[in-house]
């Protein structure tokens, strides 16, 4: 059939073209874009796990990473944790953790040895915060073997602190700081895994193929809670604080105020054991309420292989929710916090059941990558065995799940760039605004390869607000400070929480997506000290430095 | 003679002799049968089947005459040979011939079932296996094929009575097999029980099953169970839209079918379609009241709607029907917790947790037993775990095995006493099983 009315058809076609092309642009603009820029960055770290043939427990976990501003230049630097030989006598002193200073414009310089943080050992996780409230970020590195506390000298160097109590000799997988007694000093919870050594290593086989033995082949090690008595004097208070629950093979931790009663609580994700949720009773006393709160098991009451943990208010109901990553045959679990210390498993109704398809989750974080005001999810996946005997593969595609704003997520990874198309052996995942451009970038470390540095290039994203909180009465890092942002009738809650993800430490500056709102009608900061500060009509698309009992200043 | 002293000559001679013998044997078994050598022909056919040469077996049997004129034993062998030759349609045609005979061998139903399965006709295969078992209760192959089919279609509830029936039957052999039957063999054969536990407690691998289930559905779109199973696999693989369409059709066709209703609710929940869930609750207030799974799903819907009290009522109904439904126990605990009844909440959550721990322990034990003969402690452990999970009948069988394998009498007696004292299992007030 010929076009009999071409004079009508042409304008119609032109209009349709405009609509289609415009629509195409719109659709394209809304797509996430996270570009891996590690190759040009100067980061030349390659992960070392030690001999695979040992099928060791620490080697399943190795691959931690941290984002921290160690030199106070307002740019996030990267600290990448490293393995080595598991026989301490055979360790190579040249294979160390590596610190890369952010030179701006996505270029990094290796300053490991100048900064004095080039220790070697077998580093599994770590956490960064200003422990002595001197304005410079300190480091605590969790090892298979003694842990290490590095205090920042404030001159671009850090010194190793000899503290046998904090060092321990367990297999510590991760740790988190938090001001648990609201005294302005950061306390420390160290998560321990299993009592494993080369001498006690075991061999496990399935179908004639060797695989890494599950953690229940080894005795679990108890976690440890340290109270900061004075700037650098820590005392172990695990038992007296009531944090001596059953031993739990812990891998993930978050210290945050889940019941919004003012006292930070402690959530510990335990591998093949129920998670712990230590509810803060005040005066450095805790009660373990994991089972009663619903956060210990999945929604059907099953114990899962809990590994990484993301924390954030994904449904904007004013309470912090949790997302916990698991083994290949298990569904990662989304725990929606309905308040009153009650968590409901919303994984399936949130459309996150796709996470189960043969993927093993590790590092994870809630991030509002498109700044639409709803927290999305990013997950690093990868198996522990090169020849998995389940349906998983060793290398696995990472996951990026877009929050649709109606309680549901949809996976958008494949649209987000090459990084998400490829398969990796993901482990640690840290997030932060590495180029200070008002969106969240991502650092992910992998086993048997290089890390990835994902620059957020999502265009036509929403408006934003980044806050840098400086405690004066409270701890200087403002850990456990709460932020309430109101735009019109829409009120959202954020917290500067300790821990999160897996074997990682992220940017402590909250980055808040405002969606279409250019102005924040009301901003409230509730400090751990109890102080409350409030501002109104704050312009968005800006970063602000807020000092407790002081002022709010735009950050250039 | 001189030449034979050289090793190479020996090899040559032996090789030649072997060739002559093999060729001779093949020529012998393949040669046309002589008249009145019926038994010899059947023997030859069996030999060829054993040698994995069904095509020749078919030829040998066909030489006896057209199927309608074959004796019953020859016809059965021809059916078997055709099945092994993948001639499923021919098997069905031959089974038709067999079924019209007054002296039909009931075993043909087994081969008919297998042929139907080969053509992905699940419901007809099921009917054939059931018919086989109706006529010969000792047909182990039919039982196992049926159990496999049920396992593929996620019909776990139907597997247990089937296997336990076979297991208990094994102890009283049919009269014609009594002479050669060693009851010890069956009683000490734990493989069936292991398989049963694997089917019941290992997760259903929907992703691995879905292609097969799709073929079942395509081959016979009217097969109700195949459609429900495909829908379930679609739910588990996050293809909710296809699942929803399949289940809407299922529930229209069979509104009284609890598995289809439960799957529809599961699908609606997975899609977060609370409106559809509410609508279902409104229109089915009095349906499936004796189904614990459906009560559990009702509770989940109400829980999603934040109606904790009503949800608790549903979960309570679920655990009254099946106190060993761990997720319902756990969810009841969570609802009670929300209602402030911490004491009972803690109890329920703990019961749910203990049941899950027992399942996990059972899986671990069974996994270790898959390819090796169990030990007495393993049998005793499985007896304990099955009892803890409310599976008293299976526990009893494991206890017998433990005894037979040499478990300490005191341990056996202790569990036996406990099982006698609480016949319905360790959960207080349970009347399950």
Do residues B278 and B295 both lie within one domain?
Answer: yes
Query: Distance (Å, rounded) from C-alpha B232 to C-alpha B293?
Result: 14
pLDDT at residue A419 greater than cutoff 70: yes
Identify the domain containing residue B231 by its residue range.
Answer: 210-367
Do residues B349 and B231 both lie within one domain?
Answer: yes
pTM of the model: 0.84
CA distance B308 to chain A (A): 12
CB contact (8 A) between residue A291 and residue B350: yes
Q: Which residue of B has its CA nearest to A297?
A: B353
User: Is residue B12 assigned to a domain?
Assistant: no
User: Is residue B30 assigned to a domain?
Assistant: no
- What are the pLDDT digits (tens) for A256-296? 999 999 999 999 999 999 999 999 999 999 999 999 999 99
User: Is residue B174 assigned to a domain?
Assistant: no
Query: Distance (Å, rounded) from C-alpha A144 to C-alpha A83?
Result: 9
CB contact (8 A) between residue B345 and residue A329: no
CB contact (8 A) between residue B272 and residue A391: no
What's the first-to-final CA gap in chain A, in angstroms? 63
Chain A residues 303-332 with CB within 8 Å of chain B: 303, 329
CB contact (8 A) between residue A291 and residue B357: no
Residue A541 · residue A522 · CB < 8 Å: no
ipTM of the complex: 0.83
Mean pLDDT confidence for B274-284: 86
Q: Is A294 on the interface with B (CB under 8 A)?
A: yes
CA distance A270 to chain B (A): 15
Residue B356 · residue B326 · CB < 8 Å: yes
Contacts of A119 (CB under 8 A, 6+ apart): A96, A97, A141, A148, A160
pLDDT at residue A24 greater than cutoff 80: no
pLDDT at residue A18 greater than cutoff 50: no
Considering only the beta carbons, identify the residue of B270, B337, B355 that sits closest to A342.
B337
| Total CB pairs under 8 A between chain A and B | 65
Question: Tokens 């619903």, residue?
Answer: A294
Considering only the beta carbons, identify the residue of B207, B272, B330 that sits closest to A407.
B272
Q: Which residue of B has its CA nearest to A289?
A: B346
Contacts of B233 (CB under 8 A, 6+ apart): B154, B206, B207, B209, B210, B213
CB contact (8 A) between residue A349 and residue B357: no
User: Is residue B319 assigned to a domain?
Assistant: yes
Q: Which two tokens stand for residue A468?
A: 């840098």
Q: Is A404 on the interface with B (CB under 8 A)?
A: no
**In chain B, which residues have their Cβ closer than 8 Å to the Cβ of A293?**
337
- Percent over 70 (pLDDT), chain A: 94
Do residues B347 and B404 both lie within one domain?
Answer: no
Residue A196 · residue A61 · CB < 8 Å: no
Q: What is the CATH number of the domain that holds B287?
A: 1.25.40.10
Do residues B326 and B399 both lie within one domain?
Answer: no
- Residue burial A362-395, b: 16+ Cβ < 10 Å; e: rest: bbbbbbbbbbbbbbbbbbbbbbbbeebeeebbbb
Alpha helices in B173-257 (DSSP H): 183-187, 191-201, 206-219, 224-236, 240-253
Considering only the beta carbons, identify the residue of B208, B306, B337 that sits closest to A292.
B337
**In chain B, which residues have their Cβ closer than 8 Å to the Cβ of A407?**
272
Closest to A223 (Cα-Cα) out of A261, A254, A249, A205: A249
Do residues B304 and B388 both lie within one domain?
Answer: no
pLDDT at residue A8 greater than cutoff 50: no
Q: How many domains does chain B have?
A: 3
Sign for the CA dihedral angle at B5, B9, B11, B16 comes to: negative
pLDDT at residue A146 greater than cutoff 90: yes
Check residue A9 and give its pLDDT: 39
Closest to A312 (Cα-Cα) out of A175, A458, A506: A506
pLDDT at residue A369 greater than cutoff 90: yes
Do residues B360 and B420 both lie within one domain?
Answer: no
**In chain A, which residues have their Cβ closer than 8 Å to the Cβ of B352?**
301
pLDDT at residue A12 greater than cutoff 70: no
Considering only the beta carbons, identify the residue of B238, B329, B334 that sits closest to A294.
B334
Check residue A366 and give its pLDDT: 98
Do residues B407 and B336 both lie within one domain?
Answer: no
Mean pLDDT confidence for A441-450: 96
Q: Is A202 on the interface with B (CB under 8 A)?
A: no
Query: Distance (Å, rounded) from C-alpha B152 to C-alpha B217?
Result: 13
Query: Distance (Å, rounded) from C-alpha A178 to C-alpha B261?
Result: 49
Do residues B340 and B224 both lie within one domain?
Answer: yes
Contacts of B39 (CB under 8 A, 6+ apart): none
- Residue burial A149-172, b: 16+ Cβ < 10 Å; e: rest: bbbbeeebbbeebebeebbbebbb
Residue that terminates a domain, selected from B339, B367, B395: B367
| Phi, psi (deg, nearest 5) at residue A45 | -70, 135
Considering only the beta carbons, identify the residue of A291, A293, A353 that sits closest to B353.
A291
Mean pLDDT confidence for B388-410: 88
User: Is residue B407 assigned to a domain?
Assistant: yes
Q: Is A204 on the interface with B (CB under 8 A)?
A: no
State the average pLDDT for chain B: 85
B145-151 long-range Cβ contacts below 8 angstroms, 24+ apart: B145/B110, B145/B113, B145/B114, B145/B117, B146/B113, B147/B195, B147/B196, B147/B199, B149/B117, B149/B122, B149/B125, B150/B199, B151/B199
User: Is residue B95 assigned to a domain?
Assistant: yes
Check residue B430 and give its pLDDT: 52
Check residue B27 and give its pLDDT: 55
Beta bridge partners of A220: A194
| B interface residues, A as partner, C-beta within 8 Å | 203, 205, 207-208, 237-238, 269-270, 272, 303-304, 306, 326-327, 329-331, 334, 337-338, 342, 345-346, 349-350, 352-353, 355-357, 360
CB contact (8 A) between residue A354 and residue B238: yes
Least confident of A345-354, B191-200, B220-229: B191-200
| Mutation target among B201, B330, B348, B369 for the A interface, most CBs of A within 10 A | B330
Work out the widest C-alpha separation in chain B, in whole angstroms: 102
Give SS3 for A311. Answer: strand
**In chain A, which residues have their Cβ closer than 8 Å to the Cβ of B330?**
297, 300-301
| Mutation target among A217, A246, A288, A301 for the B interface, most CBs of B within 10 A | A301
- What are the pLDDT digits (tens) for B3-15? 444 545 555 555 5
- What are the pLDDT digits (tens) for A520-556? 999 999 999 999 999 999 999 999 999 999 999 999 8
Residue that terminates a domain, selected from B367, B386, B407: B367
Do residues B218 and B346 both lie within one domain?
Answer: yes
Query: Distance (Å, rounded) from C-alpha B286 to C-alpha B284?
Result: 6
User: Is residue B22 assigned to a domain?
Assistant: no
Mean pLDDT confidence for A45-54: 90
- What are the pLDDT digits (tens) for A67-85? 999 999 999 999 999 999 9
**In chain B, which residues have their Cβ closer than 8 Å to the Cβ of A342?**
334, 337-338
Residue that terminates a domain, selected from B323, B346, B367: B367
pLDDT at residue B84 greater than cutoff 80: yes
Q: What distances in angstroms separate CA A201 from CA A91, A217, B73, B117, B331, one per listed residue? A: 18, 9, 60, 47, 39
Considering only the beta carbons, identify the residue of B207, B353, B355 that sits closest to A391.
B207
Do residues B304 and B399 both lie within one domain?
Answer: no
Query: Distance (Å, rounded) from C-alpha A252 to C-alpha A271?
Result: 9
Q: Which residue of A has its CA nearest to B268?
A: A349
Mean pLDDT confidence for A203-215: 90
CB contact (8 A) between residue B237 and residue A357: yes
User: Is residue B295 assigned to a domain?
Assistant: yes
**In chain A, which residues have their Cβ closer than 8 Å to the Cβ of B331?**
299-301
Edge-to-edge strand order for the sheet containing A309-312? A309-312, A321-324, A333-337, A343-345
Q: How many CA atoms lie within 13 A of B360 on its CB side?
A: 15
Do residues B355 and B372 both lie within one domain?
Answer: no
**In chain B, which residues have their Cβ closer than 8 Å to the Cβ of A301?**
326-327, 329-331, 349, 352-353, 355-356
Q: Which residue of B has its CA nearest to A356?
A: B237
Residue A199 · residue A86 · CB < 8 Å: no
Residue A172 · residue A191 · CB < 8 Å: yes
**In chain A, which residues have their Cβ closer than 8 Å to the Cβ of B372?**
none
Residues, chain A: 556
Do residues B218 and B363 both lie within one domain?
Answer: yes
Q: Is A399 on the interface with B (CB under 8 A)?
A: no
Q: What distances in angstroms separate CA A342 from CA A8, A254, A320, A347, A542, one per listed residue? A: 62, 16, 11, 15, 35
Mean pLDDT confidence for B96-116: 94
CB contact (8 A) between residue B327 and residue A329: no
Check residue A486 and give its pLDDT: 97
CB contact (8 A) between residue B331 and residue A344: no
Burial class of A228 by CB neighbour count within 10 A (0 to 12, 13 to 18, 19+):
buried
CA distance A189 to chain B (A): 27
């Amino acid at each position: 059939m010929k076009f009999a009315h071409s004079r009508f058809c042409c304008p119609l076609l032109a209009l349709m073209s405009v609509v289609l092309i415009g629509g195409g642009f719109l659709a394209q603009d809304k797509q996430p874009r996270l570009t891996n820029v590690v190759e040009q960055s100067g980061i030349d770290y390659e992960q070392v796990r030690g001999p695979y043939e040992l099928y060791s427990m620490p080697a399943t976990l190795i691959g931690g990473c941290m984002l921290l501003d160690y030199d106070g230049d307002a740019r996030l630097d990267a600290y990448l944790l490293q393995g080595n030989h598991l026989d301490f006598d055979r360790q190579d002193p040249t294979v160390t953790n590596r610190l890369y200073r952010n030179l701006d414009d996505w270029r990094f310089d290796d300053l490991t040895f100048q900064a004095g943080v080039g220790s070697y050992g077998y580093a599994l996780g770590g956490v960064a915060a200003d422990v002595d409230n001197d304005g410079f970020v300190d480091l605590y590195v969790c090892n298979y073997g003694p842990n290490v506390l590095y205090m920042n000298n404030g001159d671009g160097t850090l010194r190793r602190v000899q503290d046998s109590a904090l060092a321990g000799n367990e297999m510590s997988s991760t740790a988190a700081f938090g001001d648990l007694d609201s005294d302005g000093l950061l306390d420390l919870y160290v998560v321990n895994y299993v009592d494993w050594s080369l001498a006690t290593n075991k061999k496990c086989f399935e179908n004639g193929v060797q695989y890494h033995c599950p953690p229940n082949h080894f005795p679990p090690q108890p976690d440890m809670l340290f109270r900061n008595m004075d700037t650098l004097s820590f005392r172990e208070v695990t038992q007296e604080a009531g944090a001596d629950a059953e031993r739990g093979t812990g891998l993930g931790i978050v210290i945050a105020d889940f019941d919004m009663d003012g006292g930070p609580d402690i959530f510990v994700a335990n591998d093949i054991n129920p998670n712990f949720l230590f509810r803060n009773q005040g005066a450095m006393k805790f009660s373990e309420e994991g089972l009663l709160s619903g956060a210990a098991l999945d929604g059907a009451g099953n114990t899962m292989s809990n590994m990484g943990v993301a924390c954030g208010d994904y449904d904007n109901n004013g309470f912090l929710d949790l997302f916990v990553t698991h083994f290949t045959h298990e569904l990662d679990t989304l725990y929606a916090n309905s308040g009153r210390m009650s968590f409901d498993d919303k994984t399936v109704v949130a459309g996150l059941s796709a996470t189960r398809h043969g993927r093993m989750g590790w590092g994870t974080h809630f991030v509002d990558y498109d700044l639409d005001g709803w927290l999305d999810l990013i997950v690093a996946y990868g198996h522990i065995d090169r020849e998995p005997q389940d349906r998983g593969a060793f290398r696995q595609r990472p996951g990026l799940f877009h929050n649709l704003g109606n309680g549901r997520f949809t996976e958008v990874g494949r649209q987000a760039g090459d990084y998400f198309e490829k398969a990796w052996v993901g482990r640690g995942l840290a997030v932060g605004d590495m180029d200070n451009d008002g969106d969240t970038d991502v650092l992910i470390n992998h086993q048997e390869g290089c890390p990835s540095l994902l620059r957020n290039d999502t265009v036509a994203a929403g408006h934003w607000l980044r806050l840098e909180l400086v405690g004066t009465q409270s701890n200087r890092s403002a850990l456990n400070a709460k932020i309430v942002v109101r735009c019109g009738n829409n009120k959202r809650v954020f917290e500067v929480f300790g821990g999160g993800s897996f074997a990682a430490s992220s940017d402590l500056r909250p980055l808040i997506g405002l969606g279409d709102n250019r102005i924040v009608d009301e901003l409230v900061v509730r400090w751990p000290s109890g102080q409350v500060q409030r501002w109104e009509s704050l312009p968005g698309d800006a970063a602000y430095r807020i000092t407790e009992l002081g002022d709010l200043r735009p950050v250039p | 003679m001189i030449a034979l002293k050289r090793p190479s000559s020996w090899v040559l001679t032996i090789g030649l002799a072997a060739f002559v013998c093999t060729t001779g044997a093949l020529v012998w078994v393949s040669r046309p049968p002589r008249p009145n050598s019926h038994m010899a022909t059947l023997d030859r056919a069996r030999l060829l089947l054993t040698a994995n040469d069904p095509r020749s077996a078919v030829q040998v049997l066909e030489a006896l005459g057209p199927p309608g004129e074959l004796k019953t034993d020859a016809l059965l062998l021809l059916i078997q040979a055709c099945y092994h030759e993948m001639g499923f349609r021919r098997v069905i045609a031959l089974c038709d011939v067999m079924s019209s005979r007054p002296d039909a061998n009931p075993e043909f139903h087994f081969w008919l079932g297998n042929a139907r399965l080969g053509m992905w006709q699940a419901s007809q295969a099921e009917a054939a296996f059931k018919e086989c078992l109706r006529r010969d209760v000792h047909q182990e192959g039919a039982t196992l094929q049926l159990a496999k089919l049920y396992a593929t279609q996620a019909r776990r509830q139907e597997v247990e009575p089937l296997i336990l029936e076979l297991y208990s039957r094994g102890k009283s052999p049919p009269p014609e097999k009594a002479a050669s039957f060693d009851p010890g063999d069956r009683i000490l054969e734990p493989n069936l029980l292991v398989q049963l536990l694997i089917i019941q407690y290992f997760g259903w691998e929907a992703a691995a099953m879905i292609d097969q289930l799709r073929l079942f559905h395509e081959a016979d779109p009217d097969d109700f169970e195949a459609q429900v199973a495909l829908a379930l696999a679609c739910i588990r693989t996050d293809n909710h839209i296809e699942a929803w369409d399949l289940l809407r059709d299922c529930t229209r066709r069979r509104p009284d079918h609890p598995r289809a209703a439960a799957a529809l609710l599961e699908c609606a929940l997975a899609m977060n379609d609370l409106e559809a869930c509410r609508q279902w609750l409104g229109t089915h207030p009095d349906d499936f009241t004796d189904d614990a799974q459906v009560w559990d799903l009702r509770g989940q819907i109400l829980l999603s709607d934040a109606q904790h009290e009503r949800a608790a009522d549903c979960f309570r109904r679920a655990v009254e029907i099946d106190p060993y439904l761990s997720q319902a126990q756990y969810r009841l605990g969570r609802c009670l917790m929300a209602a402030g009844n911490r004491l009972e909440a803690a109890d329920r959550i703990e019961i749910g947790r203990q049941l899950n721990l027992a399942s996990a322990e059972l899986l671990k034990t069974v996994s270790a037993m898959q390819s090796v003969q169990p030990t007495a402690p393993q049998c005793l452990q499985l007896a304990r775990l099955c009892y803890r999970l409310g599976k008293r009948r299976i526990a009893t069988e494991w206890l017998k095995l433990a005894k037979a394998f040499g478990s300490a009498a005191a341990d056996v007696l202790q569990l036996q006493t406990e099982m006698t004292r609480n016949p319905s299992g360790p959960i207080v007030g349970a009347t399950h099983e």
